[in-house]
Copies of this chain bind each other. A is one copy, B any other.
């Protein structure tokens, strides 16, 4: 997986910072997560091909997480897109986009599919042969979901030396990769473990923005490779965090610790702080594996 942060600051677009948007690449598929104003320009700056985005996940209908969506939908039309686009987001998102298209007397020249979310339980919203995406119900001022992206287990890897030694014909390779044992012409049974290596372990990524401290998400995100958790505030603004239903860096780290995640990435910083390294310092008092998101930064895992 490769995570590219297009924007990770709270509230408003500014000269040098952008509201929330991320690109997650899973096995050559690009998933766009949230789409604040300016996302199109950030995609261009980060040299991400628009045509490779087929699925967009919107956490909630606060502007800093989706005001760039309508523009992107229209730009796809101008770029002569013809492949389907799927948008996953809270109920109401379809009405917002369609109203604007209708009043502009225009429609997309590609299939535009909305998958509106209303459930307060975690649910599967996307699945194909490579990945599965589930919602992570969050606790915010309006209906909000995080998203859990899980790679599916690859097939087993062929041990080419072993299959040559046993002179096994190519036509059996697919079965072997699928985990099957092989009976040779002389009747010997060769166990699959002798013919294959374990596949690369599948990775997982959990996106949690925006949310108050919420232990209910721990079972859903337990053990993920990377957790992006919002930390709008530092603990010194704990009261404000509570009032606005956001988290502090300390709270994000506490969730990471309790959910036994492998890596925490912080983001959604309030623009009141001049130095985001304070977030890392605070979180590291609780949990050691902390990285800071920043616009244009990428994480390979």
Residues on A close to B: CB < 8 A?
11-15, 37-38, 40-41, 44-45, 61-63, 67-68, 70-71, 74-75, 78, 90, 92, 95-96, 99-100, 103-106, 141-142
Contacts and interface: CB of A to CB of B under 8 A. Distances in A.
Nearest to A93: B103
B142 A105 contact: yes
A120 B106 CA distance: 21
Given A38-B38, A61-B103, A62-B104, A71 B142 contact: no
Nearest to A15: B44
Nearest to A36: B71
19 contacts: A11-B75, A11-B78, A12-B74, A12-B78, A13-B40, A13-B71, A14-B44, A15-B41, A37-B38, A37-B71, A63-B74, A63-B100, A67-B67, A67-B70, A90-B103, A92-B103, A96-B103, A103-B142, A104-B142
A63 B70 contact: yes
Given A70-B67, A100-B96, A12 B40 contact: yes
Given A67-B70, A105-B141, A105-B142, A100 B41 contact: no
Contacts of A99: 92, 95-96, 99
User: How many copies altogether?
Assistant: 2
Contact of A67 (B62, B71, B90): B71
A63 B142 CA distance: 26
A263 B156 CA distance: 72
A63 B104 contact: yes
B37 A40 contact: yes
A68 B41 CA distance: 13
A41 B63 contact: no
Q: Which of A63, A78, A141 has the most CB of B within 10 A?
A: A63
Contacts of A37: 37-38, 40, 68, 71
Contacts of A100: 61, 63, 96
Contacts of A96: 99-100, 103
Given A13-B40, A38-B38, 14 more contacts: A13-B38, A13-B41, A14-B41, A14-B44, A15-B41, A37-B37, A37-B68, A62-B104, A63-B74, A63-B104, A92-B99, A96-B100, A103-B142, A105-B141
Given A70-B67, A104-B142, A142-B104, A75 B38 contact: no
